[in-house]
Amino acid sequence: MGTHKEKLSILSEMIAFARVDHSLKQSEYEFLLKVAHNLGIDRPTFDGLLKEKSPKVRLKTQAERIVQFHRLLLLMNIDREQHRKEINTLYNIGLKMGLPPVAIGQVLEVMHNYPNNIIPPDVLINIFKAHYN
């Protein structure tokens, strides 16, 4: 998984997304800390990102962008609350990543069919695959 700069950018983007509602809940912080750990980012570095953003690095592959979109989707649903602003922000992030708008919309619709709105990775991947064929 990518360079150190890419990993910091991923986390920075996720932190900014978590703060769309102007707060960072404990459940969101813990989720972000787990993502940091999975990316090999230590806690002091992660905590530093809470204070200062990392420069944005565009993910190279479509697969990396889909994985990041899924992380953001999980983050949005971690507190079991969804706000229109979060949904709109996630949609726009997906567009900026170059993901197909129809696929993004479909993911945001079908997530409600799953417990806690957690769409399984294979379902998410199949939605995006259908729009690339």
* pLDDT, tens digit, 9 for 90 and up, residues 44-66: 999 999 998 888 888 889 999 99
Neighbouring residues of 120: CB distance < 8 A, sequence distance ≥ 6 = 114
* pLDDT, tens digit, 9 for 90 and up, residues 64-89: 999 999 999 999 988 777 778 889 99
91: CATH: 1.10.3680
Question: Which helix (H) or strand (E) covers residue 97, if one does?
Answer: helix 84-97
Task: Name the domain count of the chain.
Answer: 1
Question: What is the span of the domain harbouring residue 24?
Answer: 4-130
What pTM does this model have?
A: 0.89
